A and B are shown apart, each in its own frame.
Chain A
């Protein structure tokens, strides 16, 4: 019986070429759009997965600025005011940072302190940052966020000192901009050893093994002698050549208040990104007063949003297109099938009069659609990927441009002034989230996979079945006589 059904379907398909060609063209266009949107959605999903893996595996312990601002406003009776309030930025004790890091979920962690001191016996490299620092120094103490390496604060010294638990976790080192060119790096046990920039070293004819002196910014300055153990080069345009890197203990010696040493942000690298929630819960259990102390522990969603924002827009746009294509396809194919079935109602009546079951007739029409559809879907495999790439690139470019426009408007309002964009991959430092910058995903690798083809065929056949139902019910609910006489 199936063989006969297939034979009838085949005869109907090949002996009505104009109808078949029209149907095939419609299905081909539909299949291309379906495959394009399915492939784009797949690519978006992969990119988002990559972003989640990259960002999701990093958890930050940092001040909850939003909560602190609200508290400060409330304390000053300024709940509904736009007035600025002074926010005391809480610090995190190194002991707390280490306690939270003592977890099976943590692969590694990093924290840093920023302080400043005054150069003694050597000259700083003249830079824009240095000039700004001098101006600020002359106008009084101030904290200012910004810079490629994240936020830094300085009291009144002319030289920035960054104390970090590992040289490898310096933002520019992580991104590959900063490399040791001579000597060695410090570790937690290095005593009074520092790493300086090649620019600062050459400016003062310093080399590995040289000693530099710095005066603390305390009321009674204390001179600290430090030994250069390494020299680095940094290709980042906005890096500060006068920043000196050391371990936490060495940097603490230069701090004006080493008795109250704390860090402003801790970055935890998880073994598995999926353990984020478990790790956050564990950390909160270890540090119950975390929220009341004005801190929070979470992934940096702003970085994630910034990174995947445009591509997620492409994804949601692709979803909309997918549904539009599916619905439009159902409507168009329903119309074609309706005309086709109406045109063949007498044939259906004849088949019924010969004893054919309604399912057999329905099966024949469906088989015809499947025959034509299979060819159209198969042809679209050759073209769909190209269309998908063109569509994906076009949509992403549009979304990235829109994103950049809105970012620029954001800068205009003074937001996120430290953000930096450029080629390459994500860049992120141990700095607070608000100052962290990531590279927006600007390219989408659209490639239809075997799974996408399977989805295309499944969705295509589903569309054909849905499109067949209405017109067929409309015809086959009648008695054969009604079908035959209405024709006549």
Chain B
């Protein structure tokens, strides 16, 4: 069983006038095959935490290890490529590409090799995007569909960790349920799925282990 460990993680940024200690020694362990929800108020440091877990930012103090190896040791770019993928609230798809092409980009980076097109269709099919929609520019898809594409893209590299920052924040209730089910499926397949949300409902729906972020620390509930 793979393990992601966050050890005494501290993070500070400057808001222009003063230093803000956003993480003040976060400790947590995430195991494969499980889904986690990190809840908390706006500005509590949830996004900062998952940005560090997704290696989108440099660890200032403390450590993040996957199976005993720290991000620093693995290399941030390599960690993003082989270990983690992130789903954003704003989807962050490449607008001038079709849904399939967005997935193909991720497949290529992960070194999937041949037949990226077929694999992209499969992944999109899996998240409920049919071929017709797969060949449309992502701008022409609905919010829910775009988020599905983003999830399909996150599955492309077959990475062990998937983090999502408010993945249902822009979606209606019905679509939200479907998206959370997809995340749950990923966890069932052995991934570590960490979802940041401000909604307790989301946490309950996904039957996730819930962490509460408060004053720069993480408390397991």
Query: Contacting chain B: which of A80-88, A108-116, A342-350, A456-464?
Result: A342-350
Instruction: Tell me if A354 counts as interface (CB < 8 A to partner B).
Output: yes
Q: Cβ of A388: which chain B residues have Cβ within 8 Å of it?
A: none
Q: Which of B77, B78, B92 contacts A350 (CB 8 A)?
A: B92
Taken together as a complex, chains A and B put the C-alpha atoms of A349 and B157 apart, in Å, by 17
**Restricting to B79-123, which residues have a CB under 8 Å from any CB of A?**
80-82, 85-86, 88, 90, 92-97, 101, 104-106, 108-110
A481 close to B57 (CB less than 8 A): yes
Taken together as a complex, chains A and B put the C-alpha atoms of A349 and B78 apart, in Å, by 15
Instruction: Tell me if B58 counts as interface (CB < 8 A to partner A).
Output: yes
Instruction: Tell me if A135 counts as interface (CB < 8 A to partner B).
Output: no
Q: Cβ of B157: which chain A residues have Cβ within 8 Å of it?
A: 354-355
A1-B108, A479-B56, A479-B57 as given contacts; A355 in contact with B77, CB under 8 Å: yes
Q: Cβ of A413: which chain B residues have Cβ within 8 Å of it?
A: none
A11-B96, A481-B56, A481-B57 as given contacts; A351 in contact with B80, CB under 8 Å: no
Taken together as a complex, chains A and B put the C-alpha atoms of A16 and B108 apart, in Å, by 23
Q: Which of A3, A352, A353, A355 contacts B78 (CB 8 A)?
A: A355
B80 close to A352 (CB less than 8 A): yes
Q: Cβ of A4: which chain B residues have Cβ within 8 Å of it?
A: 104-105, 108-109
Q: Cβ of B8: which chain A residues have Cβ within 8 Å of it?
A: none
B56 close to A353 (CB less than 8 A): yes
B77 close to A347 (CB less than 8 A): no
A16 close to B81 (CB less than 8 A): no
Instruction: Tell me if A15 counts as interface (CB < 8 A to partner B).
Output: yes
B-contact 0/1 string along A220-264, CB 8 Å cutoff: 000000000000000000000000000000000000000000000
Taken together as a complex, chains A and B put the C-alpha atoms of A107 and B105 apart, in Å, by 72
Instruction: Tell me if B54 counts as interface (CB < 8 A to partner A).
Output: yes
B-contact 0/1 string along A339-380, CB 8 Å cutoff: 000000011011111111100000000000000000000000
Our count of residue pairs bridging A and B at CB distance below 8 angstroms stands at 67
B86 close to A353 (CB less than 8 A): yes
A-contact 0/1 string along B112-149, CB 8 Å cutoff: 00000000000000000000000001000000000000
Q: Cβ of B109: which chain A residues have Cβ within 8 Å of it?
A: 4, 351, 354-356
**Restricting to B150-168, which residues have a CB under 8 Å from any CB of A?**
153, 157
Taken together as a complex, chains A and B put the C-alpha atoms of A484 and B91 apart, in Å, by 11
A8 close to B105 (CB less than 8 A): yes
Query: What total of chain B residues lie within 8 Å of the partner, measured CB to CB?
Result: 30
B54 close to A350 (CB less than 8 A): no
Q: Cβ of B95: which chain A residues have Cβ within 8 Å of it?
A: 347
A15 close to B54 (CB less than 8 A): no
**Restricting to A4-56, which residues have a CB under 8 Å from any CB of B?**
4, 8, 11-12, 15-16
Most B CB within 10 A of own CB, among A16, A481, A482, A484 = A481
Taken together as a complex, chains A and B put the C-alpha atoms of A4 and B114 apart, in Å, by 12
Instruction: Tell me if A488 counts as interface (CB < 8 A to partner B).
Output: yes
Taken together as a complex, chains A and B put the C-alpha atoms of A482 and B109 apart, in Å, by 21
A11 close to B82 (CB less than 8 A): no
Instruction: Tell me if B51 counts as interface (CB < 8 A to partner A).
Output: yes
A16-B96, A346-B92, A355-B82 as given contacts; A480 in contact with B101, CB under 8 Å: no
B105 close to A351 (CB less than 8 A): yes
CB distance from B98 to the nearest CB of A (A): 9
A4-B105, A11-B97 as given contacts; A355 in contact with B110, CB under 8 Å: yes
CB distance from A334 to the nearest CB of B (A): 23
CB distance from A355 to the nearest CB of B (A): 3
Taken together as a complex, chains A and B put the C-alpha atoms of A12 and B80 apart, in Å, by 24
Taken together as a complex, chains A and B put the C-alpha atoms of A88 and B50 apart, in Å, by 98
Q: Cβ of B81: which chain A residues have Cβ within 8 Å of it?
A: 354-355
Q: Cβ of A351: which chain B residues have Cβ within 8 Å of it?
A: 94, 105, 109
A347 close to B94 (CB less than 8 A): yes
Most B CB within 10 A of own CB, among A12, A16, A355 = A355
Q: Cβ of A12: which chain B residues have Cβ within 8 Å of it?
A: 96
Q: Cβ of B96: which chain A residues have Cβ within 8 Å of it?
A: 11-12, 15-16
CB distance from A8 to the nearest CB of B (A): 7
Taken together as a complex, chains A and B put the C-alpha atoms of A352 and B106 apart, in Å, by 11
**Restricting to A474-488, which residues have a CB under 8 Å from any CB of B?**
479-482, 484, 488
Q: Cβ of B88: which chain A residues have Cβ within 8 Å of it?
A: 484
Taken together as a complex, chains A and B put the C-alpha atoms of A355 and B84 apart, in Å, by 9
A356-B109, A357-B77 as given contacts; A350 in contact with B94, CB under 8 Å: yes
Q: Which of A11, A15, A347, A480 contacts B56 (CB 8 A)?
A: A480
Q: Cβ of B110: which chain A residues have Cβ within 8 Å of it?
A: 355
Q: Cβ of A349: which chain B residues have Cβ within 8 Å of it?
A: 92
A1-B108, A4-B105, A4-B108 as given contacts; A353 in contact with B97, CB under 8 Å: no
Which chain A residue has the least Cβ–Cβ distance from B48? A481
Which chain B residue has the least Cβ–Cβ distance from A479? B57
Q: Cβ of B153: which chain A residues have Cβ within 8 Å of it?
A: 354
Q: Cβ of A353: which chain B residues have Cβ within 8 Å of it?
A: 54, 56, 80, 85-86, 92
B residues neighboring A (CB under 8 Å):
51, 54, 56-58, 77-78, 80-82, 85-86, 88, 90, 92-97, 101, 104-106, 108-110, 137, 153, 157
**Chain A to chain B contacts (Cβ below 8 Å), 28 pairs:** A4-B108, A12-B96, A15-B97, A346-B92, A347-B95, A349-B92, A350-B92, A350-B93, A350-B94, A351-B94, A351-B105, A352-B80, A353-B56, A353-B85, A354-B105, A354-B153, A355-B78, A355-B109, A355-B110, A479-B56, A479-B57, A479-B58, A480-B80, A481-B51, A482-B57, A484-B56, A484-B88, A488-B90
7 closest pairs, A vs B, by CB? A355-B81, A481-B56, A4-B108, A15-B96, A481-B57, A355-B80, A480-B56
A residues neighboring B (CB under 8 Å):
1, 3-4, 8, 11-12, 15-16, 346-347, 349-357, 479-482, 484, 488
Besides A3-B108, A15-B97, A355-B109, 19 more A-B contacts (Cβ < 8 Å) are A4-B105, A11-B97, A12-B96, A15-B96, A351-B94, A352-B77, A353-B92, A354-B81, A354-B105, A354-B153, A355-B78, A355-B82, A356-B109, A479-B57, A480-B56, A480-B57, A481-B57, A482-B57, A488-B90
